[in-house]
Amino acid sequence: MDAQPGRSVTSKVLALLDAFTPASPALTLSELARRAELPLPTASRRVAELVAWGALERGDDGRYRIGLRLWEVGSLAPRGLGLRELALPTMEDLYEVTHENVQLAVRQDAELVFIERIAGRHAVPVLTRVGGRFALHATGVGLVLLAYAPAEVHEQVLAAPLERYTPLTVTDPGRLRRTLAEVRRTGYAVSDRQVTMDALSVAAPICGPEGAVVAAISLVVAQHRADPVALAPLVQAAGRTISRSLGTSYGSRRSPG
């Protein structure tokens, strides 16, 4: 047995999986043990079980990577897969009209998760990736998701330090409250150089069958050629189309929860 009081086998396995990050997608056994704060023998046993099941794969270089079996299980998450499949045709249409980056995101607690993205070949580079998390207060999709989130999420985000990504990132809680009110008034959000100094995003909400905002869609364009007023109707139309695919009858939009 693993002699580590207070930690279950499950918590140790989850700690090993949590050791992987976008910056560290491949790790040695020693690195896994250190990041998961496990003795090397314990880590070795748990990693062997994960490899046998397919959650991890061991490469020729001796390093471990996330395995396809884990990806197959993750793809069953209903908020990601079903929404992605319904949204993708509309996202592709929006891309064909603009040839700009198109992003789809959902809220997970006080962060957002990108569940799909179409990258324009000549579009401005973006920092996001499918499956990646990001703060709610800086991106277009994040501002939409935060604007329609429950009050307790507002207070959690506004009470925490707001990370500054560029000199233009809104980090003042009072100003952020006013921005969220404007998003609810207009039905779309604009994030102008708040994540990188060369990009602007315009985002709109996606509603579920009961009218609650369940996701957000955005265009991310080069700031020097961006016209938010012209882009907003395109993004809003895409959001409404996806909402209808989800069964929304388009009454009044409300916050989830």
Run of H or E including 207: strand 199-207
Q: How many domains does the chain have?
A: 2
Categorise residue 206: left if φ over 0, alpha if ψ from -120 to 50, beta otherwise: beta
Domain of residue 18 covers 9-73
Question: For residue 4, is it within any domain?
Answer: no
Q: Which of 45, 73, 101 is the last residue of a domain?
A: 73
Q: Where are the beta strands (DSSP E) in the chain?
A: 56-58, 64-66, 101-108, 111-118, 133-135, 189-192, 199-207, 213-222
Residue 250 has pLDDT above 60, yes or no: no
Residue 257 has pLDDT above 50, yes or no: no
Phi-psi category of residue 161: left, alpha or beta, with phi > 0 → left and psi -120 to 50 → alpha: beta
| pLDDT beyond 70 at 80 | no
Give pLDDT, residue 211.
Answer: 85
Contact partners, residue 240, CB within 8 Å, separation at least 6: 250
Answer yes or no: do 125 and 240 share one domain.
yes
Shared domain for 139 and 191, answered yes or no, is yes
Is 18 within a domain? yes
Quote the strand ranges of 95-198, DSSP E: 101-108, 111-118, 133-135, 189-192
In the prediction, which pLDDT does 166 show?
93
What is the rounded CA–CA span in Å between residue 190 and residue 218?
9
User: Which pLDDT band holds residue 5 (cuts at 50, 70, 90)?
Assistant: low
Q: What is the pLDDT of residue 252?
A: 46
- Of 73, 91, 124, which closes a domain? 73
| pLDDT exceeds cutoff 80 at 120 | no
Secondary structure, 3-state, 222-233: EHHHCCHHHHHH
Residue 127: CB atoms within 10 A of its CB come to 12
What is the separation, in whole angstroms, between the first and last Cα of the chain?
42
Query: How large a percentage of the chain has pLDDT more than 70?
Result: 88
Q: Tell me how far apart the alpha carbons of residues 46 and 63 are, in angstroms, rounded to a whole number.
A: 15
Output the pLDDT for position 256. Answer: 46
How many CB atoms lie under 10 A from the CB of residue 204?
A: 29
Task: Tell me how far apart the alpha carbons of residues 129 and 117 are, in angstroms, rounded to a whole number.
Answer: 7
- Provide the pLDDT confidence category of residue 74 given band limits of 50, 70 and 90: low
Q: Out of 10-24, 44-58, 75-89, pick the least confident.
A: 75-89
Let me know whether 195 and 115 are in one domain. Answer: yes
127 pLDDT higher than 70: no
* Residue tagged 């896994």 (tokens): 32
198 in the same domain as 160:
yes
Residue 3 has pLDDT above 50, yes or no: no
pLDDT tier at 77 (50, 70, 90 boundaries)?
A: low
Backbone φ, ψ for residue 138 (5° rounding): -110, -35
* Cβ neighbours for 10, distance < 8 A, ≥ 6 positions apart: none
Here the tokens at position 36 are: 């998961």
Residue 226 near residue 196 (C-beta atoms within 8 A): no
Torsion sign across C-alpha atoms 76, 77, 80, 83: positive
- Are 105 and 156 within one domain? yes
The pLDDT of residue 18: 87
CB 137 within 8 A of CB 248: no
Domain boundary among 73, 95, 119: 73
Q: Would you place residue 1 in the very low, low, confident or very high pLDDT band (cuts 50, 70, 90)? A: very low
> Please, are residues 255 and 153 in contact by the beta-carbon 8 Å criterion?
no
Asked if residue 255 belongs to a domain, the reply is: no
The pLDDT of 190-196, averaged and rounded, is 92
pLDDT at position 133 over 90: no
Same domain, 66 and 107: no
* Residue listed under structure tokens 């998390």: 133
Confidence check: pLDDT of 208 > 80: yes
Give per-residue pLDDT as tens, 29-53.
999 999 999 999 999 999 999 999 9
